[in-house]
Structure 1
Amino acid sequence: MESTIRRTMKNAPSTPELKWQELSLNTLPHGPGVSNELAAQASQVLMGRAIPAAWKDVDYRQAAMEAEVEHAIAWQVRVNREERGWKQSNLANRMNTGQSAVSRLEDPAGGDVRVSTLLKAAHAFDCALLVRFVPYSEFAAVTADVRSDRLLACGFNDEQSQTRITSSYGH
């Protein structure tokens, strides 16, 4: 299955703004196995930049967002699984599903992902799931930082041992 961004980029003109987008979604070092230093250096190229002009095209903008979401989910699930020393089968057992379902979840081209599946993964990792709508400027800024340590969500007990949990949201 071809990723959303690759389908859109086949017909897109090559402009400086598009090259920025190609860098941010296709060639920027990211995901499992990428050193945090390398990813931090690469993400600095993108920080502080305006939204690319290519994003003025609604089809392109939406395809870029979809592709980034597809990749971010896959990478984050994989990073969290690997950092815990789990095989796909271990995560599958914790999610009460099969190993092939975890494999699809970790594949950016694996198809649509249900929120209920992401909730199962969050429960397995003992972390929270946050899904929200944001302006494209915020989306561009947040997705520019692709370091593996930014993808890792520690479990509640690990978090509790690192910080003091307070009642009433820290008040």
Structure 2
Amino acid sequence: MSVLVNRLVDDFADKDYAHSYMESHTISRIAAQIYALRKQRNWSQKELAKRADITQERVCKIECGDFTSLTLSTLRKFSDAFDVHLHVEFTSFNKGILDVANLNPKNLEVASREDDFSEAKREEKIVVYIGDKWRLVNQNHFSRPSTKNKTVISTIPENIKPNEQKVESYRNWHDLKTAITH
């Protein structure tokens, strides 16, 4: 583990400190992500304000982390403006610490809905059930053996509607890889 992670694990023994630190991180992360998404799209604050139907001054304050609360309504306005999914969740402190440790500008960027789907089609991504979660992965993801059960929804040919997909289960990596490559 990194020095930062070890230090936070130790410091988070103090409940008040842990909550205060993560609240501050959440504010900083939201501010940084809104800034990163705006820059990714080459928009000015004025352009984002127009698209999100809020004032440019408010965008500036949010990007600077100069807020103590944001409503879901405001976050949805940003989500709509950037054409991305807004995901809010409660999570463990361990996951929060990893989020702090892995924070970097590239991790804050998110493709728009349109670009995301275009990329998924281009890269021939498939939906795979691994463990207890559905995941969208590139077929190259299955380059190493795994013993976990997997369920695959094959990529959808243009002439088949999504509700007509065939779901197949595979007990081992070899059967799954064989199905993907054929």
Which contiguous aligned blocks of 4+ residues in structure 1 show a shift greater than 3 angstroms?
Answer: 43-47, 165-170
Q: Does residue 140 in structure 1 map to residue 97 in structure 2? A: yes
Say which of 49, 64, 81 aligns to 1:92: 49
- Give the distance between the partners of 2:37 and 2:61, measured in 1 at CA: 15
Between 1 and 2, higher relative CO (CA 8 Å, sep ≥ 6) is seen in 1
Which runs of 5 or more residues in structure 2 are unaligned?
129-133, 137-152, 154-182
Structure having the larger proportion of residues in helix: 1
Which runs of 5 or more residues in structure 1 are unaligned?
1-42
Aligned residue for 2:59, secondary structure, equals helix
List aligned pairs for 1:17-166, cutoff 5 A. 45-46=3-4, 49=6, 51-164=8-121
Aligned length: 128
Identity %: 27
- Assess, with a 3 A threshold, how the Cα gap between structure 1 residues 86 and 57 changes in structure 2: closer, same or farther: same
Q: Name which one, 1 or 2, has greater alpha-carbon Rg.
A: 2
- Give the distance between the partners of 1:44 and 1:56, measured in 2 at CA: 18
- The one-letter code sitting in structure 2 at the alignment partner of 1:116 is S
Name the TM-score, length of structure 2 as normaliser.
0.63
Say whether the 8 Å CA contact 1:104–1:111 is kept in structure 2.
no
- The one-letter code sitting in structure 1 at the alignment partner of 2:107 is R
